[in-house]
């Protein structure tokens, strides 16, 4: 009932959003149903333990569960397990009620625990939202051990690298008593541990599955950029919530120069202007990863993998645009509107469209930028890099129409295309004239046939002749 009144309200206040959501509910269906009988061999839905893992996924992830389930073949189950392992690790890292002496060895051996049959962990604080996952972790262990060895190897390797990073940072906070990250370099490294590595692992799994190129897993910088864009966006959006929970991810290098002593000063001291410059500095830093992410998406071949990667980064760009120059972000948790999210999910189907989405948000951000902001020009340059990326890979002079691509006659690049076309023809004619035998090139099939045919016919004649001669010889030899 609540949902219906909500939708009715939306119809009156935001009719276009209402339309988008109706479209979404009507036309956007999941590409795959992991519960159906024919999917059981790859989704594991027929096993109680795997069914529980799928439930745990729904419990621990709002945003990723849907896209994970739509992945093809055994990728869905693999990524589900990968997610649960890292969520389990994260739940230990996050829990401030676990003393460092317990947490350190626990974190540093988590990759071993993950394959130890029967291992589970019940000592999370009562407020830890995903504590149930660790209480039932023995089921996760069981299913991890069922994964094919090449996937399992990647998941455990990434888990080990991440756990070391998390333990190092947690230990440093305890030992030095400093709660803040000082530099952007440290911030990048922290994000690499908690998100960049996830990107590396995913990419290695794509390659191992054979659904993506074998060399994709070597694109480490691009894979990390994907992770960093998502992580940094969350860190920016969750500012207030994180600060209140005493989780401080914004590096001092970006905010201390405006005179803030503590992160909470940004909403307590009433200096909205400087807080806004800090916010734009953080968003500028996140936008650094935008074109790398587009590069990554352009390398993908499998549609389900593409959609899995594209939807979250599009949401991230929308969120960055929402946060930019928005003082409300310092007061409460803001979110993109449901209809906007639905639209993005429906649109994120190919790299060109995703690049267009990126460009739209880049322009939105740019239009909100203020010249007094010390980051003003760098924001502009960053947005223009997205514009340039789009033009480099999907040039706008190519107009996609019903009848196929046409070229915009006013664009200078059309002249380039026409010039190249006429040169191609010239070269063909020139080559044909210079080398009549090899000219063969373009009209090869038509002109080659008589030659080959003549040879075949000649060969056949020879063969028949030789055979006849042999027969005559034999006949003569026997009867002669």
Partner 1 sequence: MSGQKKDVYLVIGGSGFVGRHIVEQLIAREDVVSVFDIVQRHHDVPFYSGDITDQSQVEDALRRSGTTCIIHTASPTAGAKDPSIYHKVNVEGTKAVIAAAVAAGVPKLVYTSSAGVVFDGNDVINLDERAPYPEKPFDAYNESKALGEALILEASGKGGLLTVALRPAGIFGPGDRQMMVGLYQAYQRGQTHFQVGDNNNLFDYTYVGNLARAHLIAADKLVPSEHDAADWQSDTVTLTDKEQALLNTMLPSVSATTGYRRVPTCEARPLGPYVTPPPNAEKLEAAFNAPPGVRNITHPVMRSRFDQFSDNALAVAPSSPLQVAGQAFFITNGEPVYFWDFMRLIWLQLDPPGSTRADRKTLVIPRMFGMVLGFLAECWAALIGKEAGFTRYRVGYSCATRYHNIEKARRVLGYEPETGLEEGVKKMVEWFKAENNLS
Rounded least distance, CB 160 to partner 1, Å: 11
- Of 247, 337, 378, 431, the catalytic one is 247
Cα(440)–Cα(464) distance, integer angstroms: 31
Of 346 and 398, which CB lies nearer to partner 1 in the complex structure? Answer: 398
10 neighbors 18 (Cβ within 8 angstroms): yes
Q: Which of 294, 296, 299, 295 is nearest to 317 (CA)?
A: 294
Of 271 and 387, which CB lies nearer to partner 1 in the complex structure? Answer: 387
Of 182 and 241, which CB lies nearer to partner 1 in the complex structure? Answer: 182
CB-based contacts of 376-381 (< 8 A; 24+ apart in sequence): 378/284, 379/280, 379/283, 379/284, 379/287
Quote the Cα angle for 137-142-147, to 5°. Answer: 120
**Torsion angles phi and psi, residue 97, rounded to 5:** -85, -10
- Of 121, 137, 151, 190, the catalytic one is 190
Rounded least distance, CB 425 to partner 1, Å: 10
**Any catalytic annotation for residue 473?**
no
Work out the number of other CB atoms within 10 angstroms of the CB of residue 84.
Answer: 26
- Of 77, 87, 204, 237, the catalytic one is 237
For 324-443, where are the alpha helices, taking DSSP H only? 338-347, 351-368, 376-393, 412-434
Rounded least distance, CB 220 to partner 1, Å: 4
Is the CA virtual torsion 252, 255, 259, 261 positive or negative?
negative
Rounded least distance, CB 309 to partner 1, Å: 16
**Any catalytic annotation for residue 190?**
yes
**Any catalytic annotation for residue 18?**
no
Of 77 and 252, which CB lies nearer to partner 1 in the complex structure? Answer: 252
- Of 110, 187, 193, 308, the catalytic one is 308
Rounded least distance, CB 458 to partner 1, Å: 31
Of 65 and 173, which CB lies nearer to partner 1 in the complex structure? Answer: 173
**Any catalytic annotation for residue 247?**
yes
Give me the torsion for CA of 147, 149, 155, 160, rounded to 10°: 130
DSSP string, 155-201: HHHHHHHHHHHHHHHHHHHHHH---S--SHHHHHHHHIIIIIHHHHH
Rounded least distance, CB 372 to partner 1, Å: 5
Of 59 and 356, which CB lies nearer to partner 1 in the complex structure? Answer: 356
Catalytic residues: 190, 237, 247, 308
């Amino acid at each position: 009932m609540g949902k219906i009144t909500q939708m009715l309200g939306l119809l009156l206040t935001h009719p276009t959003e209402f339309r988008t959501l109706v479209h979404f509910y009507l036309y956007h269906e999941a590409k795959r149903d992991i519960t159906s009988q024919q999917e059981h061999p790859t989704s594991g839905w027929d096993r109680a333990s795997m069914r529980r893992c799928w439930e745990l996924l729904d419990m621990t992830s709002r945003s990723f569960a849907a896209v994970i389930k739509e992945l093809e073949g055994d990728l869905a189950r693999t990524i589900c397990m990968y997610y649960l392992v890292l969520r389990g690790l994260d739940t230990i890292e996050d829990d401030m009620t676990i003393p460092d002496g317990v947490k350190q060895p626990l974190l540093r051996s988590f990759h071993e625990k993950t394959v130890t049959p029967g291992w589970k962990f019940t000592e999370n604080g009562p407020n830890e939202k995903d504590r149930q996952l660790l209480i039932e972790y023995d089921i996760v262990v069981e299913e991890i051990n069922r994964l094919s060895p090449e996937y399992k190897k990647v998941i455990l390797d990434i888990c080990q690298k991440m756990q070391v990073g998390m333990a190092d940072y947690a230990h440093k906070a305890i030992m030095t008593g400093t709660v803040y990250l000082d530099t952007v370099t440290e911030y990048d490294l922290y994000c690499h541990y908690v998100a960049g590595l996830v990107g590396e692992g995913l990419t290695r799994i794509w390659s191992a599955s054979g659904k993506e190129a074998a060399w994709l897993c070597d694109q480490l910088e691009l894979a990390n950029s994907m992770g960093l864009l998502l992580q940094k966006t969350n860190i920016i959006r969750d500012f207030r919530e994180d600060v209140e929970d005493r989780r401080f991810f914004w590096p001092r290098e970006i905010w201390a120069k405006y005179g803030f002593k503590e992160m909470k000063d940004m909403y307590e001291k009433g200096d909205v202007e400087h807080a806004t410059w800090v916010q734009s500095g953080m968003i500028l830093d996140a936008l650094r990863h935008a074109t790398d992410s587009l590069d990554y998406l352009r390398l993908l071949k499998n549609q389900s993998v593409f959609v899995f990667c594209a939807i979250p980064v599009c949401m991230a760009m929308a969120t960055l645009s929402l946060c930019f120059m928005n003082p409300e972000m310092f007061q409460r948790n803001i979110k993109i509107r449901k209809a906007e999210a639905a639209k993005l999910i429906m649109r994120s189907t190919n790299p060109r469209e995703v690049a267009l989405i990126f460009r739209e948000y880049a322009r939105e951000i740019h239009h909100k930028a203020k010249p007094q902001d010390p980051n003003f020009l760098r924001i502009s340059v960053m947005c223009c890099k997205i514009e340039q990326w789009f033009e480099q890979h999907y040039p706008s002079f190519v107009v996609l129409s019903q009848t196929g691509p046409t070229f915009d006659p006013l664009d200078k690049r059309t002249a380039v295309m026409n010039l190249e076309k006429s040169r191609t023809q010239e070269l063909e004619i020139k080559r044909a004239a210079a080398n009549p035998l090899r000219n063969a090139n373009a009209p090869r099939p038509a002109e080659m046939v008589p030659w080959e045919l003549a040879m075949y016919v000649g060969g056949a004649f020879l063969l028949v002749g030789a055979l006849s001669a042999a027969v005559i010889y034999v006949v003569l030899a026997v009867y002669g």
